[in-house]
Each structure stands twice: as structure tokens, then as C-alpha cells.
Amino acid sequence: MPAVSKGDGMRGLAVFISDIRNCKSKEAEIKRINKELANIRSKFKGDKALDGYSKKKYVCKLLFIFLLGHDIDFGHMEAVNLLSSNKYTEKQIGYLFISVLVNSNSDLIRLINNGIKNDLASRNPTFMNLALHCIANVGSREMAEAFASEIPNILVAGDTMDSVKQSAALCLLRLNRTSADLVPMGEWTARVVHLLNDQHLGVVTAATSLITTLAQKSPDDFKTSISLAVARLSRIVTSASIDLQDYTYYFVAAPWLSVKLLRLLQCYPPPEDAALRSRLTECLETILNKAQEPPKSKKVQHSNAKNAVLFEAISLIIHHDSEPTLLVRACNQLGQFLQHRETNLRYLALESMCTLASSEFSHETVKTHIETVINALKTERDVSVRQRAVDLLYAMCDRSNAKQIVAEMLSYLETADYSIREEIVLKVAILAEKYAVDYTWYVDTILNLIRIAGDYVSEEVWYRVIQIVINRDDVQGYAAKTVFEALQAPACHENLVKVGGYILGEFGNLIAGDSRSSPLVQFNLLHSKFHLCSVPTRALLLSAYIKFINLFPEVKATIQDVLRSDSQLRNADVELQQRAVEYLRLSCIASTDILATVLEEMPPFPERESSILAKLKRKKGPGHLPDIDDARRNVNGSTEPSENTEATKKSSPSLMADLLPTNRPRPASSSPIMLSAGTMGSTHPFTDLLNLNSTPPSGASLLVDVFSDISTAAPAEVCEENFLRFVCKNNGVIYENQLLQIGLKSEYRQNLGRIYVFYGNKTSTQFLSFSSSVTSSDTLKAQLNVHAKTVDPVIEGGAQVQQILNIECVSDFTDAPVLNIQFRYGGTLQNIGVKLPVMLNKFFQPTEMLSQDFFQRWKQLGAPQQEVQKIFKARHPMDTDVTKAKILGFGVALLDGVDPNPANFVGAGVIHTKNTQVGCLLRLEPNTQAQMYRLTLRTSRDSVSQRLCDLLSEQF
Amino acid sequence: MRFLLLFSRQGKLRLQKWFTPMTDREKKKVIRDMMTLVLARQPRTCNFLQWRDLKIVYKRYASLYFCTGLDDQDNELLTLEVLHRYVELLDKYFGNVCELDIIFNFEKAYFILDEFLMGGEVLETSKISVGVSMEEADTLQETMEEYMSKPAY
């Protein structure tokens, strides 16, 4: 390459750069830069108009200064001026400056857009490319607004140069990523698909990228690209490597295009057309075959490009998850790579195998590599490879190998890098819980975790072990014995003290029979750790002590002495002091009976999904927290009666609250002392907005019926805004305006249901002539009986009344009944209609079944009309816990370990109607890469399959 | 591809290209994290890392590290070849490129990158095509004398 342009374009710039490089210190550099900035500023402000060259040079210097990391607050105008220059280099520098330095809210955006507009219209391909690059580089909304509708025209116009087409395609891709709503779909989309047939491989490559992005958002619009992509891929794969000339990269035919085509195909399920499908299978087989051929070059570029295509093909095979032979071949290929001498290939093989492990066809084959993977964990020199090995072990774990894998992870944890310890701890905790056959193993594992890596054991982990111990009485004695032994160690981690304190406080009595662990010994053991612990742990220990007073009256005096000591009663920490004072007082004044009631053993926690899983997900990426609705994980455990946002926002502290005695059910008359004694720093944020627990005024008024008959003017509009939010839950606020809040609490058993409707008057004025009735369409009347009790015609300001609806499901149905409410407020008649969330799935009874039964029934329901399937985009973050909760809330039993792919969800239930019962199986397959779900429902009635599919598919 | 950074063994940033919108603060954080992560790596370890939800692919050429952040669905091996192709293009243009070429002709390094990548995707993989368009651009470049002889407007 001739040195035409090596810096001799702008001598002043080169001089300045070498000056900067010669600066001996940071201060000298800043001084030199300030001098230059002053110089440039004076030039720009000077009377003499600058010529284009000088302007370009100074703008370029400013750019250099900015890239060194200094702020630039002038020169933008000069850069914008350069855009309108007709000299290429000036324009180019102007665009570069703008791309790097101008942010979207600049006031200059209008001028810049003007410059771009001129260049786009210039029909000079070089200028057009510069303009398109600038749009793609800045990519702001303003730019999208200005140009998103114009670029498609450039892209598909017949006379556009190839290079401009390429830029236009990628520019559009870029705008679509950030401002998809501004890119108009239209006639051009069909023509873009045909660019896959273009002669110019560069155009095809760029177009494939664009189509992939668009197809991820609206797959249906780009379905036609499948056959074109397969055809193109097939031509590349079978071509001799030299056919593609400059698009052959180190003897690999068009690797970029191949990878992109394979990527595009991953937006879709396997092609339905048999011929197309077999052509694609052939391509994939050819790619797999090529991996076994001797390399055409020793260069690493050759093997990288070749293997890049291979890995992408394997991704597609895994995505389709439908051809067992291909899956097994892919798995074997990865198995070879696991032992490859190239670290990169080992890394990628581990990564790909993780996804392969979740396929039902290849899970077993993946498992055969367990020894290699464990070996990788022990011998790999590179931490990022070891991290992948941990991930794969986690993915391939199932009941058969859980003990081995957990043991290996635990032993690796002792030497693991600090950066990945916390993640390993979470993974071990999850596996231990998920595959625990006996819970003694689980308890041992968690205590081992604390012993080995106590600092990395997060709160979620130790909360969880306590929840499980409390909920399973078969393990309580063992847990008490084990923590007692573990606490004997002279130096034990504070987390162990917490777990120990909590468990002995609850279940210390189970081991108190043995003189070696008598009450006093237990207490002394705990108390020996007290002074080394932080305030929250001490607070927890104090609670354990008061529990001891109840469990073991014989140590009461000892404990009272401790509580009474100055270091407790006068502790500087207000929480500790308060606890000491209140517990001491409680132990003195309360009778044994009261003490026993107040300090009773913790009731079982509502079964909830593990919060450890959620934590692991959060660690894996910034991935936004699920929206408020989703955050209510306990769709099933109806402990929270209202839709209070305050309460939902605090979904994580609520776990903490659960662990503390505050939350335990107790008679309303419980002493106020206990309330404050129980709180551990955090007040329970929950307030009963709807006051669901209070007894509502009963006694119906006859007058209402008379009135409601006269004026049953149907409301203009039926509100169904919140309807779909009730598909997977039974309680919450269904309607709210300035005057009225309507809350629901529902229960269903078999084909019967009852809804408690709560009408809350939000104003301070009375509602008069209040009435509410339920209407159904004619079809629905035959399918669903709804009987509404009458309701008091007056609702005082700020008051709440309750109405009971009794429901009977006669046969399966699709419509929903409407709740019509009328009342007078300040003289005007209010008319409100609300679609009642009574859906077919409410009459589900969950059915547990074993894997083989499931598959047997699944096959029996194989007739085409019995199955309804839907593929749809995820509308919420794809969170396994939330999804599980929703499926449970939907009413079916979630069957673990049925689907060989642990990422999939399988459920079963029976819909009860008066006339018949309908068995129902469902399967939900998330594809996190494509952010899509596939939902399949099989029932014996097509209308049921359809309705359930419609309802559930709206929930993700 | 979300970003591409070029930095030296001494931790001097030589080129930064961002393909998704980010605030300056985020950019600084990414640059700092990448340098600490990548510069601390032992030689002959693998070229891939996980950082937050991004896949990091990096490679060292002489004194310079080329470092990119990828989305989950991007292909790591091919990205290594994107880096390599970029180095080849720089090489072809400068003739045996070295760090100094990129320091003194930083604007050219950006231009060449723009010919090759757009929006984080490969725009043109053919070395010939990219080379041709860079040459065309250079023929449009006037010499300094030409500039100076023209009257100021």
C-alpha cells in the first residue's frame, strides 16, 4: 500500500500527537492540551474565516483530545459545517467527529440531519455511505424519526449500488434495535427477503443480518426467508471453497454468511415442508462431516472459521431439538472438542454442551462426559474454562448423578477462584435442594457450604435451609444434632451461628435428652459465640434465647441473668436493647401457657419457589427484575390478600419477615409486646388495604333488587383491563377509579367456585342506591351459573362492603360474565361494567403423575384437533421461578423431572365441569436465546385445548 | 457486537467503538473493567470470558489488545476472525501496521473499521472490496498543497 495518506494529510495534527507523546507527565500533557484548546478556540472565534483544510485539522485535533479522555465543549458547529463540504476528507472528518462526540440531545441535531439528508439524496455512493454510517453510529431516536422511513426505500431501490445497499441494510438493523417502533414495516419487507438471492455475497450477508433481527421481532412476516436461507446455505456448503473467490476465508467458504444464515434459521422451528427439511438436514450433516476431514490449512484462522460454522450448526440442531441422530452427532462432536488441545474449543464445547444437556434426546449422551468435565474442573489452568465446567455440571445434573456432582463442586469450592465462589455456592444449594432424596444429605451439604465458603453464602441460602427444616419434621432432629456438632468447632462462620441459633431455638428440645447436649450445654455453646457476632446475628440469638426459656424452663434463670446484664439491657444498639428488655419482661410476667402460645414452634412456611434460583439469575446478568405482577411469586400461597404495591415491591424482605415470629399466625388478641419484640429491624410493610379479614356487614336489603330491576341500563363499556392478570391468580384488585375500588378473593373446588367481591368507597361521601349484578351472554348462561347475593344499597364514605358470588361450571366455556355496578354519587348515577375473571382454568384440579403415565397419556391425546400449539414472543423477562409460579397459579400440577429438558415445564390437571371432566396436559418450552415460548396443550376436547392455550399464552 | 476496544499492554486506549447507546459513565466503566480483566489474563489462556451478561472475546496482536463484547447469540470463534480480518485490513492499508500507525492515523483506523463493521455487524467481509473503497477514498484526498493554494472562502 502506498503511503499516500499516512499522516501527511495533516502535518499539524501529527506534530501535536507527537508533542503529546513526548510529555513526561500527566500535568505536562494537560498543559499542552490546554494550550492547544486555547489555540483552536481562538482560531474558531477569529475574524478570519477558516478554510476547509484548517477546519478539518482543528476538528481532528479536538477529536484526538476527546479520545484521550478529555472533555470537549466546542467545535461541534465547525464539525457540522464540514458536512456540507464537497471535499470527501472534510466531510469524512466531520462525520467522524459527530459519530464519536455528538449525543442525541444536541441542539445541532437538526443541522446534522440536514447534512445527512443532502448526502443521502446526492446519489453519490461514497457520500451516501458516509451518511448511513453516521446514522448507524449515532443511532438516536431523532435520527430514527428523521430517516427510518427513507432508508428502506434506498435499500430496495433497483438502482442502488451494492455497497450502499449493504450499508442501508445494517443501518436499518441498527435503528430497529434501538427504535423498532419507528421503523415502518411494509411492502419493502418482502423485497428485503429476496435480497437473500442477490448475486453479491456482501449484500446477502448484510441482508441476512437485517432479516434475522426483524424476524426475531415478528417471525411470521419473514417466514418466506426460511426456504431462501436453506437454499443459499446449501449452495455455500456444497461449493468448492474457491468458487466464492474473495468471500472464501482461509479455505472456508463464506463463513460469515454461513453463520448468519444458520443464525436466521434459529428464529424458526424446523421447516414443515419435508423436502426443505431434508435439504437442511443434509446441510447440517455436511457441516458435521467436514469437521472430520483433515484441515486444508494449518493456520488457526482456517480452523476458527470452520469451527465457527460448526458451532453455529450445532446451535441450530439444539434449537430445533427434533432430530435425535443429529443431536447425538453434535454431542459426540462436542465430546471430541472437550479433549481438544485448543483451549478455545474446550471452552466453547463446554458452553454448547450446557444447552445440549437440556434436550431430552441428548441429555443422556451429555451425561457420559461427566468424568471429562470433572477432570476439566480440576485441571484447567484457565478460570473462565473452569467456570464453564461448573455451568455444565450444573446443567447435566439430575437425580442419578447429583451426589457425585455436588461432592465434586464442594471439593472444588475449597480452591475455587474468589470471583466464582458465590455462584458455585448458589448452584450447590440449588442442586442439593432439587435432587435431595433424603434431607439429611441436604442439611449436611448446606452446612458444608457454610464451613467451606461461609463468606459467600448469601442470606437466601441460609434462609432456605431453615425453611426446609421447619417444613419437614423428619429432618428436624437430625438438623439440630448436626448444627450442634458443627457449632463445636472453635472458629465457625457467623452464618453457621445464625442457622444454629435458629434451629436450636426451634428444635433444641429434640436433642436435649442426651446429657452431652443438654439445654444448658446448648445455651452455653450458643452464647459462647454471641460476643463475636454482628448485631443482626446477636438479635437472632436473643430470639433463640427466649425460645429456650419456653422450651427449657430449667435454664430460664440462667438466660434471664444474661438478658439482665448491662451489656444487654443497656446495649448501645437500640434493637438489641429493646429485645433484651422485652424478652426479659415477657419471661417474667407471662404465664407458662401464654409463653407457650407466643413462642410456639414456627408453623410451616408456605411452599414457595426457591429464591436462590432468582438470585442466581440476577447474578447472571443485569436482566431486569420481573414486573410487579410477576414479583408475587406465591400465586398459590394466597397469604397476601391484596394487590398493595408497597407490599409487592418488597418481595425479598418478605422472606425475611416470614422467618421471624411476627408473621406467624396468632390470635388477634396477641400482646402488643410481641409485635415489637418480633420485629427485627424491619417492619412488615404490608397493610390490609381491602381489609379482607374483617367481617363485612351482612344482611341484604330487599330494596336493592327493586331498584336494580328498574335501571339495568348496561354500562357503556366493560372494563377488562385487569382480566388477564387474574388468569394465574385468584386475589387482587380488579377495578379501580377515583371513586371505587373493587377487590376480589376467590376460591374454587372442583366445578364450584365462590368469589368474594369487595367494594371500597374511596371517597368520604356515601354511595347511594348501590347495586351490582352479574350478566352473562346467552351461550354462557347455559355453560356457567353465577348467583350473586344482594348487597347493601348504601356504602358509607371510606367503607367497604362485600358481595358473595356463587359459581357453578356446567360445561366448558370461553366467554366471561360481566359484573354490572350502579350507584349514585353526589347525585349522578355511576355505571360500571367489569369483566369477571372466571375462566375455564379456575376449575382445574392439579394431577400429579409419573413420567411414564404422562407420556402414555400424551400419546393418547395425539389426534390433531386435541392438540393446540402456539409459539409466541416473551413479553416479560424469562424467569423460571415466575413461570413456574404462573403455571401453578394456572391450576395444573407442575411435573418435575418428566420433561428430559429441565428448562421445559410440564403440567397436568383435570377441568371439572358439572357434565364432564376433561383431562389436560400442557408443555411449555422456553427458548431464551430467541426470547420465545412454545406452548402445547392436549386435552380430549378441542374447545378446551384452544381456550386454555389462549388464556395461558397471554401470561408470559 | 456491542463494542470494540483497542488498548495497549500499558492500558492506553487506542480506539473505542460503541455499537449500542451508552452513557459516558457506562463507557468509562466498561473500558476500565475490560482493561483490568483482559490485561490480567495469563498468556495462552482462552480468548473468551464472561462479563456480566456479555461474552468478551479478546486477542492480543503485538503490543495491542483487541477486545469486543458480544451478545449472547453472537459467535465467539467468528468474532476472533472479525478481529483478525480487521488487523489484516489495517495491515494492508498501512503496510505492516504497528501501534504507532494507529496512534498517528487514528482517524484512518476508524474509517477502515467503518468500511468493515456497521452497527456491530460485519458489513463487508471481502478484503478486496474494503481495500478498494479505502483506495477510492484516498484518491479523493487532496494534498495539503492543493488545500493551501485554494483561496479561503
A139-185 pLDDT per residue, tens: 888 888 899 989 999 999 888 899 999 999 999 999 998 888 888 88
Chain A: closest CA distance from residue B46 (Å): 5
Residues 6+ apart with CB under 8 A from A346: A337, A338, A339, A340, A376, A380, A385, B46
Closest Cα to residue A709, out of A807, A618, A820, A853? A820
Which residue in chain A has the smallest CA separation from B82? A256
Name all domains of chain B by residue range, CATH numbers in brackets.
3-149 (3.30.450.60)
Q: Which of A1, A93, A622 sits opposite B93 (nearest CB)?
A: A1
A163–B133 C-beta distance less than 8 A:
yes
Work out the angle at residue A139's Cα, subtended by the Cα atoms of residues A133 and A145, and round it to the nearest 5 degrees. Answer: 110
The reply, when asked if residue A43 is annotated as ligand binding, is yes
Chain A: closest CA distance from residue B66 (Å): 16
pLDDT at A111 over 90: no
Q: What is the pLDDT of residue B48?
A: 94
The reply, when asked if residue A6 is annotated as ligand binding, is no
Q: Which residues of A touch B152 (CB under 8 A)?
A: 48-51
Fold exhibited by the domain A718-838: Immunoglobulin-like (2.60.40)
A140–B21 C-beta distance less than 8 A:
yes
What is the rounded CA–CA span in Å between residue A107 and residue A949? 50
Q: Which of B58, B74, B85, B121 is the best substitution to test chain A (most A C-beta atoms within 10 A)?
A: B121
Whether residue A384 lies within 8 A of chain B, CB to CB, comes out as yes
Compute the half-sphere exposure of residue A416: CA atoms within 13 Å on the CB side of its CA.
28
Closest Cα to residue A740, out of A766, A721, A722? A766
Whether residue A66 lies within 8 A of chain B, CB to CB, comes out as no
Instruction: Label residues A244-254 b or e (16+ Cβ within 10 Å = b).
Output: bebbbbbebbb
What is the rounded CA–CA span in Å between residue A71 and residue A737? 50
Q: How confident is the model at residue A268 (pLDDT cuts 50, 70, 90)?
A: very high
What is the rounded CA–CA span in Å between residue A894 and residue A887? 7
Q: What is the pLDDT of residue A682?
A: 33
- Answer whether A129's CB lies under 8 Å from A167's CB: yes
Quote the cell numbers at residue A228.
Answer: 431462501
What is the rounded CA–CA span in Å between residue A605 and residue A599? 16
Q: What are phi and psi of A359, to 5 degrees?
A: -90, 140
Q: What is the pLDDT of residue B140?
A: 57
Q: What are phi and psi of A772, to 5 degrees?
A: -150, 140
The distance of Cα B68 from the centroid of its chain, to the nearest Å, equals 9
Q: Which residues of B touch A14 (CB under 8 A)?
A: 104
Closest Cα to residue B80, out of A182, A33, A255, A777? A255
The strand pair at A828-835 and A718-719 is best described as parallel
B144–A126 C-beta distance less than 8 A:
no
pLDDT at B84 over 50: yes
The percent of chain B in helix, strand and coil, each rounded to the nearest 5, is 45, 25, 30
Q: Which of A82, A246, A260, A932 is the best substitution to test chain B (most B C-beta atoms within 10 A)?
A: A246
pLDDT at A692 over 50: no
pLDDT at A706 over 60: no
What is the rounded CA–CA span in Å between residue A154 and residue A121? 10
- Answer whether A57's CB lies under 8 Å from B104's CB: no
B75–A312 C-beta distance less than 8 A:
yes
Provide the ipTM.
0.90
B137–A52 C-beta distance less than 8 A:
no
- Answer whether A548's CB lies under 8 Å from A508's CB: yes
Whether residue A570 lies within 8 A of chain B, CB to CB, comes out as no
A21–B73 C-beta distance less than 8 A:
no
Q: How confident is the model at residue B139 (pLDDT cuts 50, 70, 90)?
A: low
What is the rounded CA–CA span in Å between residue A318 and residue A44? 60
Whether residue A621 lies within 8 A of chain B, CB to CB, comes out as yes
The reply, when asked if residue A897 is annotated as ligand binding, is no
B107–A96 C-beta distance less than 8 A:
yes
Which residue in chain A has the smallest CA separation from B138? A5
pLDDT at A108 over 60: yes
Work out the angle at residue A289's Cα, subtended by the Cα atoms of residues A283 and A295, and round it to the nearest 5 degrees. Answer: 120
B108–A10 C-beta distance less than 8 A:
no
B77–A307 C-beta distance less than 8 A:
yes
What mean pLDDT, rounded, does chain A reach?
Answer: 83
- Answer whether A944's CB lies under 8 Å from A812's CB: yes
Say whether A909 sits in a helix, a strand or coil.
strand
What is the rounded CA–CA span in Å between residue A147 and residue A145? 6
Q: Which residues of A touch B49 (CB under 8 A)?
A: 384
Closest Cα to residue B47, out of A51, A144, A865, A300? A300
What is the rounded CA–CA span in Å between residue A586 and residue A584? 5
Which residue in chain A has the smallest CA separation from B77? A308
Which residue in chain A has the smallest CA separation from B5? A67
Closest Cα to residue A266, out of A207, A311, A206? A311
> A2 burial class (0-12, 13-18, 19+ CB within 10 angstroms)?
exposed
Whole-number percent of chain B with pLDDT over 90: 52
Quote the cell numbers at residue A229.
Answer: 436461507
Q: Which residues of A touch B111 (CB under 8 A)?
A: 92, 96
A539-572 pLDDT per residue, tens: 999 999 999 999 999 999 999 999 999 888 888 9
Looking at the DSSP bridge assignments, the partners of residue A257 are none
Which residue in chain B has the smallest CA separation from A16? B104
Helices (H), A241-342: 255-265, 274-292, 300-320, 324-338
Chain B: closest CA distance from residue A357 (Å): 18
Residues 6+ apart with CB under 8 A from A32: A19, A20, A23
Whether residue A344 lies within 8 A of chain B, CB to CB, comes out as yes
Q: How confident is the model at residue A931 (pLDDT cuts 50, 70, 90)?
A: confident
Domain boundaries defined on chain A: 433-598, 718-838, 841-954
Q: What is the pLDDT of residue B81?
A: 95
A184-228 pLDDT per residue, tens: 888 888 899 999 999 899 999 999 999 999 999 889 889 999 999
The reply, when asked if residue A11 is annotated as ligand binding, is yes
What is the rounded CA–CA span in Å between residue A630 and residue A880? 11
Q: What is the pLDDT of residue B152?
A: 38
Q: What is the pLDDT of residue A527?
A: 95
CA distances from A874 to A180, A888, A921 (A): 16, 18, 21
Lowest-confidence pick of A120-129, A362-371, A792-801, A857-866: A857-866
Identify the H or E element spanning A757.
Answer: strand A752-761
Average confidence (pLDDT) over B82-107: 90
- Answer whether A941's CB lies under 8 Å from A812's CB: yes
Q: Which residues of A touch B137 (CB under 8 A)?
A: 88-89, 92, 126
Q: What is the pLDDT of residue A442?
A: 92
Whole-number percent of chain A with pLDDT over 90: 38
> A63 burial class (0-12, 13-18, 19+ CB within 10 angstroms)?
buried
A96–B94 C-beta distance less than 8 A:
no
Closest Cα to residue A52, out of B115, B141, B102, B111? B141
Report the CATH number of the A841-954 domain: 3.30.310.10
What is the rounded CA–CA span in Å between residue A161 and residue A123? 9
Q: What is the pLDDT of residue A7?
A: 39
The reply to whether A841-954 shares the fold of A718-838 is no
Q: What is the pLDDT of residue A716?
A: 53
Q: Which of B20, B106, B123 sits opposite A170 (nearest CB)?
A: B123
DSSP A112-162: HHHHHHHHHHT--HHHHHHHHHHHHHH--HHHHHHHTTTHHHHHH-TT--H
Q: How confident is the model at residue A714 (pLDDT cuts 50, 70, 90)?
A: very low
Average confidence (pLDDT) over A516-527: 94
Q: What is the pLDDT of residue A777?
A: 87
pLDDT at B14 over 80: yes
CA distances from A721 to A4, A510, A725 (A): 67, 53, 8
Whether residue A8 lies within 8 A of chain B, CB to CB, comes out as yes
pLDDT at A647 over 60: no
Q: Which of B114, B144, B146 is the best substitution to test chain A (most A C-beta atoms within 10 A)?
A: B114
Which residue in chain A has the smallest CA separation from B12? A68
Q: How confident is the model at residue A9 (pLDDT cuts 50, 70, 90)?
A: low
Chain B: closest CA distance from residue A766 (Å): 53
Q: How confident is the model at residue A712 (pLDDT cuts 50, 70, 90)?
A: very low
Contacts of residues A29-35 at CB distance under 8 Å and 24 or more positions apart, as own/partner, are: A29/A68, A33/A65, A33/A68, A33/A70
pLDDT at A34 over 90: yes
Looking at the DSSP bridge assignments, the partners of residue A773 are A820
Say whether A467 sits in a helix, a strand or coil.
helix
Enter the pTM of the model: 0.66
Cell 463468606 belongs to A455
A452-474 pLDDT per residue, tens: 988 888 888 888 899 889 988 88
What is the rounded CA–CA span in Å between residue B91 and residue B84? 10
Helices (H), A454-571: 459-471, 473-487, 494-507, 519-530, 535-551, 556-564, 566-569
Q: Name the DSSP class of A7.
A: S
Q: What are phi and psi of A832, to 5 degrees?
A: -130, 135
Q: What is the pLDDT of residue B124?
A: 85
Work out the angle at residue A607's Cα, subtended by the Cα atoms of residues A602 and A610, and round it to the nearest 5 degrees. Answer: 110
Average confidence (pLDDT) over A933-947: 88
What is the rounded CA–CA span in Å between residue A560 and residue A828? 66
pLDDT at A352 over 90: yes
The reply, when asked if residue A59 is annotated as ligand binding, is yes
pLDDT at A715 over 50: no
What is the rounded CA–CA span in Å between residue A171 and residue A180? 12
Q: How confident is the model at residue A750 (pLDDT cuts 50, 70, 90)?
A: confident
CA distances from A16 to A38, A291, B103 (A): 14, 52, 12
Average confidence (pLDDT) over A504-527: 93
Quote the cell numbers at residue B13.
Answer: 486506549
